Structure 1
Amino acid sequence: MPRPFYDDWSRRRRPAAQALWHWHSALKSPAVPKDEDVKAYFDEERARAESGRPLRGMPEETASAAYEACETHGLTLDWLGTQVEAARLFVGETRFEDADQLETFVRLWAVPHARLLAHLAGLTNSVQIGWVDELARGFFHLAHLLRLPADLARGRLFVPLDELRQYEVSAEQLRTGPATEGARRLLWKQSVRARDALQRGRSLADDLGLRKRYALLRYWHGALALLNELDRRDYDLWAAPIELSRLRRLEVYLLMLFGRR
């Protein structure tokens, strides 16, 4: 799944963007010491992050680089700490009973990371940040929709459990297939969740300079093309990976250049 802007930073800001990504990535597989209370561990880790101290569960060089990026570019450490708070849900099986619980997680996990990058790019007013938040949601939901079977193999499910029950689909079925009618309807609903968020964030591109605008539009149109490809495959995630052909990639490039502004 493409990561907007990661290849399009200026030379001065690229190390900071990479440091923030490495921080985010390092939190995806937390290792809580044996016999230690999970809540207490993450409460302490969040406090460490928000005060710029080394984390017990992260390589020191990764944390130091993220702290330096924040100090150099005037970014708040609170958004690093919020990601630590969210990472506690990666311990054991990751499940969400309903859409509200999933949204809370996304707000703590994907949104703060996106806001750090937005501020690094000079996007700071409240309207812009609202669009950034929606794009973060959209890219998050799309990424985890496309790698749903792989997520489940790791014990993680980013689809609300009440929606599985609504369509009479089990987590095991989502891991292995096949694409039954219930599974297709469930995945269609997840695609709508991703598409709607991406559409709500689209206006950010109109507020950007030329270089950043084209970078965002490339990934935005690419994301919609992946959703369209999933629809074309009748929501079958299991027969083959959802990827774009050369022709589809060319269409994305042309849309980036000549599509709606």
Structure 2
Amino acid sequence: MGGSENTDLPRPFYDQWSRRKCPAARALWEWHGALASCARSMDGAENHASVFEEDRARAEAGDPLQLISDAVCRDAYAACATHGLDRSLLAVQVQAAHEYVGTVRFETESALKAFVGRWAVPHARLLTRLADVTLSALLDYVDELARGFFYLARLVRLPADLEADRLFLSQEALRRKEVSIEQLRAGSPDEAVRALLWKESVRIRDALAQGRPLIGHLSLRHRFALKRFWIGALVLLDELDRHEYDLWRRPLDLSLVRRAQVYLQTFLGRAASR
């Protein structure tokens, strides 16, 4: 839903589909992933802005793109046509993918939120519409969950993102806590770094909480899957808190015991506790 290179992270609406809808869901994920991959491969390329703009218009028209394969385009367009999905949401992702090229920085919180609104949110809206979420009143829940899962994925992958010269924390957030990018790259979290990452975890928890009501509006197939991912995200944040926000010493992961607790909480109807 938010997208992540790490398949151990929560990926709502990824593989919990009926046989009839599975090809469409896979096509939407392939589109999203292909755009991210091609954007990262264009570092240093000339005139890349015009290529993305041209491809945004091509996606609007349902034409093949220059950036990704004809097969990926064909399958994504077919998914939209077959299931009545809004194809313009594919085009918005093309526009956003341009921001993955080269150094990634966001000066303000609002700029970062706007990017997520063009990247993760359209992808989430397509997937949830495929899951028969049709009421416009539910879109705010969809959007908040998309933001929460995206921010979680980027937080957990912060060291890897920094190595690739990408940062999905705003510059104003760093200044507020008096943290430099060099401090983050050093991988030795002091009190200021821990305060910064704690604040980010609060934002993620808030987004997930704001989006939680969507769970009750889903079919049983998707309801339990999304609830499991939702609880798993909170448990992952609990682990980060227990590790004192140190993402550098070892990868953040859930033990078998913690994973079992997530399954139990999902099926017993209990929320994850701190």
CA distance in 1, matches of 2:154, 2:44: 29
CA contact (8 A) 1:198 1:220 kept: yes
Show the counterpart of 1:225: 235
Distance apart, 1:154 and its partner CA: 1.1
Show the counterpart of 1:204: 214
Partner SS for 1:257: helix
Show the counterpart of 2:4: none
CA contact (8 A) 1:32 1:57 kept: no
Would the alpha carbon gap of residues 72 and 246 (structure 1) be closer, same or farther in structure 2, given more than 3 Å must change?
same
CA distance in 2, matches of 1:13, 1:19: 10
CA distance in 2, matches of 1:183, 1:234: 10
CA distance in 1, matches of 2:252, 2:89: 32
Where does the alignment leave 5 or more consecutive residues of structure 2 unmatched? 1-8
Selected match of 2:11 from 3, 6, 22: 3
CA contact (8 A) 2:13 2:128 kept: no
Alignment of 1:150 with 2:123, yes or no, is no
CA distance in 1, matches of 2:53, 2:43: 14
Selected match of 1:39 from 36, 44, 49: 49
Aligned length: 261
CA distance in 1, matches of 2:219, 2:132: 11
Partner SS for 1:27: helix
Selected match of 2:189 from 179, 183, 192: 179
For 1:8, the aligned partner's letter is Q
For 1:133, the aligned partner's letter is D
Q: Percent identity?
A: 55
Show the counterpart of 1:21: 29
CA distance in 2, matches of 1:46, 1:225: 38
CA distance in 1, matches of 2:221, 2:78: 26
CA contact (8 A) 1:176 1:238 kept: no
Show the counterpart of 2:78: 68
RMSD of equivalent CA atoms:
1.5
CA distance in 1, matches of 2:221, 2:62: 32
For 2:190, the aligned partner's letter is T
CA contact (8 A) 1:148 1:175 kept: no
For 1:223, the aligned partner's letter is A
Distance apart, 1:34 and its partner CA: 7.3
CA distance in 1, matches of 2:121, 2:183: 30
CA contact (8 A) 2:112 2:168 kept: yes
Where does the alignment leave 5 or more consecutive residues of structure 1 unmatched? none
Distance apart, 1:247 and its partner CA: 1.2
Partner SS for 2:36: coil
Deviations 1:162-206 (A, max 9, x none): 111222222232233101111000001111111100000011111
Show the counterpart of 2:245: 235
CA contact (8 A) 1:75 1:120 kept: yes
CA contact (8 A) 1:149 1:176 kept: no
CA distance in 1, matches of 2:42, 2:34: 13
Q: Counterparts of 1:37-116 in structure 2 under 5 Å?
A: 37-116=47-126
For 2:34, the aligned partner's letter is A
Name the structure, 1 or 2, with higher relative contact order (CA <8 Å, separation 6+): 2
TM-score, length basis structure 1:
0.96
